[in-house]
A and B are shown apart, each in its own frame.
Chain A
Amino acid sequence: ELKVEQNPLFLSMQEGKNYTIYCNYSTTSDRLYWYRQDPGKSLESLFVLLSNGAVKQEGRLMASLDTKARLSTLHITAAVHDLSATYFCAVLPLNNDMRFGAGTRLTVKP
């Protein structure tokens, strides 16, 4: 069974600092997604990574995928308060049974 593990689950950062969230998964897949969820809100799609070595960047967030290591990272550069949210990675295997990580709750403090 596909397992998706994120770490850390909780992350408290100061504004201006850099940090990386990790997403490991247990089966072969080259379709990896990152989402953001604000409290009480639905999910917002951030990135879709569809091949080994894929790198996507949007503002202060950059996502990458290493399918051989079964690892994706979400790197945060010079964090700002507006980035506070829960971030989920998700893996879409061949049977389309999308599996989500438990989420990383990010708090950016001034």
Chain B
Amino acid sequence: GENVEQHPSTLSVQEGDSAVIKCTYSDSASNYFPWYKQELGKRPQLIIDIRSNVGEKKDQRIAVTLNKTAKHFSLHITETQPEDSAVYFCAAGDSSASKIIFGSGTRLSIRP
């Protein structure tokens, strides 16, 4: 089955700097890669997703890149702000799958 690894587990960046979170997956059939943000005590919420027919997707300060050959994908947050502090989860699934598999999460802290 699919296995998703996520790094780093914790990340602290200065406000205004960029943050990068990386994930690798094992199943070459995976073609759907969502990213979720979970604030303390809250539910996970989708922030961006990418499908394997594109290599990069951007939404304002957030971008995701995908390298299918290497089986890794990354989340990039630019001009970080205090409200970006949260736990971020990557996930992977394929169109025929009944589930997506989550990475272990990255706790992002933004230093003022």
Chains A and B belong together in one complex: no
